[in-house]
Amino acid sequence: MHETAAIILAAGQGSRMKSNLNKILHSLAGLEMINHVVRSVRLAAFDEVLVVIGYQGDKVREVVEGVIFVEQKEQLGTGHAVNQCLDELKNFSGPVLITYGDTPLFRPDTFKKLIQYHQERKAVATILTAKYDDPTGYGRILRSKDNTVLGVVEQKDASESQLMINEINTGTYCFDSQLLFHYLAQITPDNAQAEYYLPDVLPLMLANGHIVEGFILDDPEESMGINDRIQLTEAGLILRDRNCRYWQEQGVTIMDPSSTWIEHGCTIGQDTVIYPQSFIQSGTTIGANCSIGPNCRLSAAHIGDGVKLENAVVENRVVQAGREIVPFSFLTK
């Protein structure tokens, strides 16, 4: 990908999480929520990655590396947040992705496909959309009979017929960067919260004859945002299933994926068998032809080829190849 940028909006607090910690810093499958988003953007090969920070910005800086941080000192809406990136992108003329730090399930291929579709259609804006069985609470995508995007109507403003539409706005977009900032300068905070909303640029673009497109997600589950502990758990289960499936595809036997947790940042060799109730944490490497579990927890452990572990905890230890560890062992430094 050439001349592309991504903006990740991560300035809010997330009060519904009921936590003293910024919600994007909560852990999912061994990574902070924000780092799942950064990871997907990086794997999609964006040239510039900007993260807009605000609440607990210093803590976000501590855990996120290799990005440009932009501070939003006052939380005045999504449009205002994006506009804080103007100085960093004033000489940039390519497409810019805008997504959120609390949407950790987007795959890199989704971002790649969105940018490709945006460029192929020569659009000024492309909305990443999804089709939900229950679209309640989301803005609906309005299309003409020939499928042209006519706009987005929010739930509270939708007519009875518009409420029947199941294609929704996920809140992730691709924009022509120069025109995005041109129209951001024209939006006004005409709402009860007195905030500048990013979607308000869309009617301005349409009114001026620009092409606005909608790209429909293959898997609507990816667009899930995390607002509370219930959704945090749901997202964790989805990532657990993805990780287990990945390792199965690499030649690892997982006897019960529903009770096996494998975090990001692990390595597992072929023909290893993982039995139920096993928890493999970040920084762990497991060799080939091992037998792990049931009831094992490995944390930053280095397990050689052919090792057998059952009912054991291994933390920050090396287990040499061929060893058979006595059940109920606790190995730690």
Is the domain of 295 the same as that of 146?
no
Average model confidence (pLDDT) across the chain: 96
pTM (two decimals): 0.94
Weakest mean pLDDT among 24-38, 110-124, 181-195 = 181-195
Position 237 in a domain: no
Q: Does the CA dihedral 244-245-247-248 come out positive or negative?
A: positive
Which domain does 280 fall in, by range? 250-332
Is the domain of 174 the same as that of 270?
no
**What total number of domains does the chain contain?**
2
Q: Which of 223, 241, 271 is the last residue of a domain?
A: 223
Is the domain of 197 the same as that of 256?
no
- Is the per-residue pLDDT at 1 higher than 60? no
The confidence band for 14, taking pLDDT boundaries of 50, 70 and 90, is: confident
Is the domain of 209 the same as that of 314?
no
For residue 314, how many C-alpha atoms fall within 13 Å in the half-sphere facing its CB? 30
Q: Which of 187, 207, 223 is the last residue of a domain?
A: 223
Is the domain of 168 the same as that of 275?
no
Position 232 in a domain: no
Task: Check residue 265 and report its DSSP letter.
Answer: S
Position 292 in a domain: yes
Position 229 in a domain: no
Please tell me the predicted confidence (pLDDT) of residue 295.
98
What CATH number should be reported for the domain holding residue 305? 2.160.10.10
Q: What is the DSSP string of 86-103?
A: HHHHTT--SEEEEEETT-
Is the domain of 186 the same as that of 114?
yes
Residues 200-244 have pLDDT tens digits of 999 999 999 999 999 999 999 999 999 999 999 999 999 999 999
Position 307 in a domain: yes
Closest CA to 198 of 168, 226, 170, 220: 170
Please tell me the predicted confidence (pLDDT) of residue 192.
80
Position 228 in a domain: no
Residues 48-59 have pLDDT tens digits of 999 999 999 999
Q: Which of 157, 188, 223 is the last residue of a domain?
A: 223
- Is the per-residue pLDDT at 277 higher than 90? yes
What CATH number should be reported for the domain holding residue 103? 3.90.550.10
Is the domain of 185 the same as that of 320?
no
Position 281 in a domain: yes
Is the domain of 105 the same as that of 163?
yes
Please tell me the predicted confidence (pLDDT) of residue 230.
97
Is the domain of 191 the same as that of 305?
no
Closest CA to 224 of 172, 155, 174: 172
Position 243 in a domain: no
Is the domain of 177 the same as that of 283?
no
State what percent of residues in the chain have pLDDT above 70. Answer: 99
Q: How many whole angstroms from its chain centre is CA 262?
A: 18
The confidence band for 333, taking pLDDT boundaries of 50, 70 and 90, is: confident
Is the domain of 192 the same as that of 270?
no
Please tell me the predicted confidence (pLDDT) of residue 89.
96
Phi, psi of 99 (to 5 degrees): -145, -175
**pLDDT mean over 279-283:** 98
Is the domain of 151 the same as that of 195?
yes
Alpha-carbon distances of 126 from 57, 76, 180, 188, rounded to whole Å: 29, 23, 11, 22
